[in-house]
Chains A and B, each alone.
Chain A
Amino acid sequence: MSMNSQGRASRADNIPGNADSIETFTGHRGLEQQEKLIFEVGDPSRTGVDFADPGKFDPAFGGLERHAPIGLPGLSEPEAVRHYSRLSRKNYAIDMGMYPLGSCTMKHNPRLNEKMARVPGLADVHPLQPQSTVQGSLRLMQELAHWLKTLTGMPAVAMSPKAGAHGELCGLMAIRAALEARGNARKTVLVPESAHGTNPATAALCGYGVKAIPADSRGRVDLAAFEAELNEDAAAVMITNPNTCGLFENEIAKLADAVHDAGALFYCDGANFNAIVGRVRPGDLGVDAMHINLHKTFSTPHGGGGPGSGPVVFSEALAPFAPLPYVVEENGAFKIKEHPDADDTALGRLTAFHGQMGMFIRALAYMMSHGSDGLRQVAEDAVLNANYVMASLKDVMTPSFDGPCMHECLFDDRFLKGTGVETLDFAKAMIDEGFHPMTMYFPLVVHGAMLIEPTETESKDSIDTFIGMMRSLTRAAKSGDTARFSGAPYLAPLQRLDETRAARNPVLRWTPPEQRAAAE
């Protein structure tokens, strides 16, 4: 046995077989610790918060006191900190490694943004305080609006939408309102097959039928099919640009002209704005409305699924139909317009207050940190990285389309043909290699899609490691090493989960064991 300077063993001489064969007594495996639900460890009489006892007094609840047990266990602070720290360690995160999820723009989340969002003068402010007492917050919203309008080349922006899909709803509602003001709301919205699922769902919520437009062999909107559907019933087209195949719609100007000539309006899904920020302004492409996912392009954290933020920029044609509330500047003071005037064409409210202020702060801190020069570099590095990945993998995987891509590169599963390995298995094997999988089976226009978006915040070294890993997995798949894939992941906190069972017999909450037994 070798010793270190303190005389402790630094290396075991006899390792009993491989690590997998070691059964532990606790169920923990070193740093990988099992953690029960709080309902199994907490106690309703325990608390991690100290408040002075208010004593006995007569409440004025109209006889509606809550007497029955609520059934909420409590934890002391050390227990709570340990519980959630242990849970956190079962998550993959950008902080831990590359997150090549196409269409999701999983870039680094700067910590300065978190710090700024917690400046007390900005965080500890109520949305219904007198407007004279929130001039700093209103100025901040105006400043962010200015950056968004300048970067997109659009004259107006609605700040209140809570997420990308909420922004889509805002944009399409404004389009409908504008068309109604012209006398005819029309009937259909044209949506390419490669679109995010939220696009058709939004169109339906706005009372429109959806016409799916196929992609052509180059991964772009099929212009002929598009023009064939573009008639007097068409209210709008919703196009993602760069599209979800990672390609710039090079006929975009022609598309926009055709849309406008037909009396329709052009909604652009701005999910992929990261590819062009500072280099291309959507306003120069004929766009009438576009949402911007602040949690993608402008780095606000995804937080395990929200909160997002989806401001929508508008063309002159749609600006009068932006929702309430909005900020205006009058004689050097800022006001938030919360109610419509008599002849106002503004949409109503989309949310109770003014939007995702906490996200506005983070996004503006991000933008100001980069500046006009840094943001342009963001787009260039994001596109460079994706093309570098494509160039480095195209001899072993199958790119779906020729030519340069934008910020993400799309492969399909032709390279796996005959290997017995499917896209899903391949992705799960990436987990064992320490990477989050890329986006799979989306977009729907190619078979077994694998959409890789490295983002600009990955170093060359990190991308090279990723490329090496992908080449190795590709080689393993082709050499018949199927066991590596079929049960993967083997090395994650859990192995593959039974999603069918979860959907067939939904268990959406913890139930006390005795109740559970009684129900079965």
Chain B
Amino acid sequence: MRYLPHTDADRREMLAKIGIKSVDDLFCDVPEKARLKDLVDLPLHAGELEIDRYFRGLGEENTQAGAVPFFVGCGAYRHHVPASVDHLIQRGEFLTSYTPYQPEISQGTLQSLFEFQTQVAQLTGMEVANASMYDGSTGCAEAVLMARRVTRRKKALISGGLHAHYISVARTETKHTDDELISFAPKPAAPGDDIDALIAAVDGDTACVVMQNPDFFGHVHDLRPLADAVRAAGGLLIVVVTEVISMGAIMSPGEMGADIVVCEGQSIGNGLNFGGPYLGLFACKQKYIRHMPGRLCGETVDATGARGYVLTLSTREQHIRREKATSNICTNSGLCALAFTIHMSLLGEAGLRRVAAINHKKTLELKARLADVPGVKILNEAFFNEITAVLPKAAEPVVEALAAKDILAGVPASRLYPGDPDLENLLILAATEMVTSEDIAALVEALKGELA
């Protein structure tokens, strides 16, 4: 077995040192009836070749995003990741190191986390950020819990434009706390109504308002009036961004008055990976850091006065606080955060702004071309790289039919809102820098055929 170094002679010598005859003696504390005499009913060990064949076979059963015209978004986006990113994160010193609890021999991880936190703060327009969360959805739920700790209020108002899965996750996480989550119905055809309804509902009991921007249907919102209303009522504005590239073009949540910003950071540095592992970004104002969940990396000095970094403010965490900890989360998304940091360092502000502009221009092109398809209407006026089309019939069978022709046309809203007649005909499409004009032409032709 290629991963196990011992020879039988090694094992014999070691047993002799321990003073026993058989390794079975070491399992003497296991109740007799629970000791398996035989191997479990699974295949025997396999070589690299067999494993390689098996996984490639599974891959062939899928439609690979990059092999077809591809317009799927809704919280995960296909972007170009520079070749050096994956090369660097596979350096064994990063890949195979543990959480940096021994800072003297973990400065590589720690300094890159410090860079990550700074990049996230700059990108979101906030003062500070943590060392990452599992993903955007769990980060969003943690932000709701954090707002509760800060304001000591229970009511969270949730925009109808927040990704439906994020709402579900927040509901699950607060199931056994007495937080009150009030979610508004999605209004994809009248995006302004969503913010008006939230502003009207904010009151002195409101802990937070959760708003996604661009929202699930692709609409870009001016959050400043909402931020003013929430601030006036003493609550916190939580802004969720599921497409972080958008912040290279659109005013940041911080500039629009957010108190906490949560993002799905997958777009930068990380591939689609069928939904995970992804990367939650979590940023807030400096004054709230002691209420923040998750790991934090901070600057300090060593015994000689040299600058260095450590994990800090661990008194918020479960190792010390146990049942009084701010959250039960005990990890971050370390390697995904490193990929983000390297990719962001390669982009820099100039590269980020350019890739954001390309995304938007592609989407303008997509919108214009879709407008030519008879019966199709686009709902978005202000958007980034995602738009919602109203089809003349239910979207889901259309998407299936196009998939059968090797075109991945987007996400039917019914995938997230099954049985909602108002949303049944909606198709949400994203166009990133990966999309070509030929892809758009193929989509438009196929759609014309399907809707004719």
Contacts and interface: CB of A to CB of B under 8 A. Distances in A.
A183 interface: no
Interface in B34-72: 34-36, 39-48, 50-52, 54-66, 70, 72
> How large, as a class, is the contact surface on chain B?
35 or more
A112 interface: yes
Interface in A33-63: 35, 37-39, 42-49, 51-54, 57, 59-63
Interface string B74-86: 1110101010101
A81 B88 contact: yes
A208 B26 CA distance: 37
A108 B399 contact: no
Contacts, number: 706
B55 A119 contact: yes
B59 A120 contact: yes
Interface string A466-509: 00000000000000000000010100111111110111001111
B384 A136 contact: no
A197 B91 contact: no
B172 A250 contact: no
Contacts of A247: 29
A414 interface: no
Given A198-B328, A501-B301, 8 more contacts: A133-B62, A202-B328, A350-B138, A350-B172, A456-B4, A493-B105, A497-B300, A508-B297
B452 interface: no
Given A71-B122, A74-B345, A496-B303, A374 B334 contact: no
Contact of B62 (A137, A304, A347): A137
Interface stretch (B203-211, B230-238, B313-321): B313-321
9 contacts: A42-B348, A49-B351, A70-B247, A72-B352, A93-B94, A133-B408, A134-B63, A390-B18, A508-B117
Contacts of B301: 497-498, 501
Contacts of A210: 322-323
Contacts of B172: 173, 323, 347-350
A316 to B, nearest CB: 18
A328 interface: no
A198 B293 CA distance: 13
A508 B296 contact: yes
A176 B175 CA distance: 10
A404 interface: yes
B276 A358 contact: yes
A501 B300 contact: yes
B180 interface: no
Given A66-B250, A250-B30, A369-B2, A124 B272 contact: yes
A85 B325 CA distance: 36
B222 A64 contact: yes
A45 B352 CA distance: 10
A404 B15 CA distance: 12
Interface string B158-194: 0000010110110111011100000000000000000
B93 A47 contact: no
A182 to B, nearest CB: 16
Q: B11, B58, B127, B355: which has the most chain A beta carbons within 10 Å? A: B58
A150 B63 contact: no
B271 A130 contact: no
B108 interface: yes
B249 interface: yes
B345 A80 contact: yes
A139 B41 contact: no
B143 interface: no
Contact of A74 (B46, B306, B308, B351): B351
A165 B330 contact: yes
Contacts of B338: 84, 303-304
Given A348-B171, A372-B39, A64 B382 contact: yes
A375 to B, nearest CB: 8
B274 A281 contact: no
B157 to A, nearest CB: 19
Given A197-B322, A284-B34, A369-B51, A38 B408 contact: no
Contacts of A176: 176
B348 A498 contact: no
Nearest to A365: B51
Question: What are the 5 closest A-B residue pairs judged by CB atoms, nearest first?
Answer: A74-B348, A121-B59, A353-B275, A62-B382, A303-B335
B274 A119 contact: no
Contacts of A115: 52
A503 B320 CA distance: 14
Given A66-B249, A278-B39, A354 B274 contact: yes
Contact of B121 (A284, A350, A368, A509): A509
B376 interface: no
A74 B323 contact: no
A384 B23 contact: yes
A359 B277 contact: yes
Nearest to B270: A358
B97 interface: yes
Contacts of A203: 323
A184 interface: no
Nearest to A210: B323
A510 B299 CA distance: 9
Nearest to A308: B331
Contacts of A109: 95-96
Given A95-B93, A487-B303, A51 B355 contact: yes
